[in-house]
């Protein structure tokens, strides 16, 4: 009986032709929007996670009220291998007459290797800085995008009338070091008129220790050195996972809001299915009477119309998934082709199966009241209906 009802449901759905396809549109638009947006959200989260893994699982960053004296305190902490300090400031940097506001990072050139290996920096060309390089700089590979002319090794960048020769070019996944230049820390402090302040302390973790363990040790060491109680800290100790968690939360919130808006299309689709089923009942009243006259029960009639509604939802979901994947892939292609933005697609089986299941359930729920009305028609009244 169920197989016969299923065949009849498929035949009736296909027989309505244009009406069925118009109803399907409302469903697949919503499903396509949800699948594409969730896919891009998951892909972005995956890409960010991979990027932060490259930032290094062996570093802890200290920011806030820190200076040179805190370097020794942090370096004595159990689990810390080496430390390096940095001071950053935004400066107007000139290249061949063109001026741009650039993030200038100051580092101690006497232990520059500790600074360089403590951060996710990769030397692309030239060399790293050394102690005598007081008037030299390393630039990020993305810095040249800030200027109309390309910057290469040996070129001169001017800051407040002083020239800095480019000795090396690096690439990085750390946002604060992208589109930046690195010079001697004393030069930056002179520009900012500060003494021994630091923007951050980079602590490299010894093998065998975790980031969480070392973070706790650093916090305890700095509190003890400053005579502070827990909760009174004037510094922050962070690890890449903290930033990743914050970004993930933001992505999830935005994704939830956008999917909520896209779900409005699904609501419209559900209303469309309900309207189509009511129209179908009016058009097929005599058919319902015939089915009842030959022995079809209320349950059979209700199941028939539920199957038709569920089939519309299923077809709409299937088409929506295909279109959603296409939109997601097209968006990834366009963004990665025409920009340096980090993005990928991230659809998986739970997302696709969930979307298809939801669209089918939407059809079943939307078709419940019409199917109930159809099942309650009396055979005699249905057969007399014109």
Q: The tokens 């038709």 sit on which residue?
A: 308
Q: Say if residues 167 and 125 touch (Cβ distance below 8 Å).
A: no
pLDDT, position 292: 63
Tell whether 130 and 38 lie within a shared domain. Answer: no
pLDDT tens readout for residues 80-104: 888 889 999 999 999 988 999 999 9
Tell whether 125 and 99 lie within a shared domain. Answer: yes
Tell whether 39 and 121 lie within a shared domain. Answer: no
Tell whether 179 and 276 lie within a shared domain. Answer: no
Beta bridge partners of 80: 205
pLDDT tens readout for residues 136-151: 999 998 887 788 888 9
* Count of beta carbons in the 10 Å neighbourhood of residue 159: 19
pLDDT, position 3: 61
Vertex 297: Cα angle to 291 and 298 (nearest 5): 105
> If DSSP codes are grouped into helix, strand and coil, which group holds residue 180?
strand
Which carries the bigger pLDDT value, residue 252 or residue 205? 205
Separation CA 150–CA 250 (nearest Å): 35
Tell whether 263 and 349 lie within a shared domain. Answer: yes
* Residues shown for the chain: 386
Q: Write out the DSSP string of 201-247.
A: EEEEEPTT--HHHHHHHHHHHHHHHHTPPTT--SEEEE-HHHHHHHH
Spell out the residues 6+ positions from residue 113 whose beta carbon is closer than 8 angstroms to its own.
128
Strand 121-126 and strand 162-172: the pairing is antiparallel
pLDDT, position 87: 93
Strand 80-95 and strand 235-238: the pairing is unpaired
pLDDT, position 382: 46
Separation CA 115–CA 100 (nearest Å): 26
Q: Say if residues 124 and 154 touch (Cβ distance below 8 Å).
A: no
Tell whether 149 and 254 lie within a shared domain. Answer: no
pLDDT, position 36: 82
Which carries the bigger pLDDT value, residue 58 or residue 203? 203
Tell whether 115 and 199 lie within a shared domain. Answer: yes
Quote the crossing angle between the two packed helices 298-338 and 240-283, to the nearest 10°.
Answer: 140
Which carries the bigger pLDDT value, residue 120 or residue 112? 112
What percent of the chain stands above pLDDT 90?
20
Tell whether 255 and 224 lie within a shared domain. Answer: no
Q: Say if residues 344 and 46 touch (Cβ distance below 8 Å).
A: yes
Tell whether 167 and 308 lie within a shared domain. Answer: no
Instruction: Please give the span between the terminal C-alpha atoms of the chain, in angstroms, as a whole number.
Output: 29
pLDDT, position 177: 84
pLDDT, position 300: 74
Tell whether 126 and 27 lie within a shared domain. Answer: no
pLDDT, position 18: 62
Separation CA 34–CA 40 (nearest Å): 10
Range of the domain at 212: 59-239
Read off the pLDDT of each residue in 28-54 and give the average, rounded to a whole number: 74
pLDDT, position 350: 82
Tell whether 6 and 134 lie within a shared domain. Answer: no
Q: Write out the DSSP string of 193-208.
A: T-SSEEEEEEEEEPTT
């Amino acid at each position: 009986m169920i197989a016969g009802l299923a065949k009849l449901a498929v035949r009736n759905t296909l027989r309505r032709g244009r009406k069925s396809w118009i109803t399907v549109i409302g469903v697949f638009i919503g499903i396509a929007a949800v699948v594409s947006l969730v896919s891009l959200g998951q892909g972005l989260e995956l890409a960010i996670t991979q990027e932060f893994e490259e930032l290094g699982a062996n570093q802890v960053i200290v920011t806030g009220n820190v200076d040179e004296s805190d370097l020794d305190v942090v370096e004595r902490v159990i689990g810390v291998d080496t430390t390096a300090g940095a001071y950053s400031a935004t400066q107007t940097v000139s290249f061949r007459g063109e001026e741009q506001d650039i993030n200038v990072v100051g580092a101690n050139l006497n232990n520059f290797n500790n600074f360089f290996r403590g951060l996710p920096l990769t030397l692309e060309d030239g060399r790293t800085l050394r102690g005598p390089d007081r008037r030299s700089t390393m630039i990020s590979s993305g810095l040249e995008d800030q200027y109309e002319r390309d910057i290469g090794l040996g070129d001169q960048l001017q800051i407040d009338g002083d020239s800095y020769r480019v000795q090396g070019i690096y690439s990085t996944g750390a946002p604060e070091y992208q589109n930046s230049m690195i010079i001697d820390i004393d030069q930056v402090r002179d520009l900012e008129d500060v003494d021994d302040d630091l923007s951050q302390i980079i602590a490299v973790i010894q093998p065998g220790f975790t980031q969480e363990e070392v973070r706790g040790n650093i916090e305890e060491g700095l509190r003890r050195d400053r005579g502070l109680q827990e909760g009174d800290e004037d510094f922050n100790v962070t690890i890449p996972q903290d930033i990743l968690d914050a970004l993930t939360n933001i992505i999830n919130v935005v994704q939830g809001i956008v999917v909520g808006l896209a779900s409005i299309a699904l609501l419209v689709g559900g209303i469309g299915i309900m309207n189509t089923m009511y129209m179908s009942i009016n058009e097929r009243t005599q058919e319902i009477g015939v089915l009842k006259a030959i022995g079809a029960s209320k349950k059979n009639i209700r199941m028939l119309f539920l199957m038709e509604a569920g089939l519309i939802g299923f077809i709409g979901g299937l088409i929506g998934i295909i279109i959603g994947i296409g939109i997601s892939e097209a968006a990834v292609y366009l963004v990665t082709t025409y920009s340096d933005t980090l993005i990928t697609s991230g659809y998986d089986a739970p997302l696709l199966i969930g979307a298809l299941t939801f669209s089918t359930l939407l059809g079943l729920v939307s078709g419940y009241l019409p199917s109930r009305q159809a099942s309650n028609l009396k055979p005699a009244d249905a057969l007399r209906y014109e």
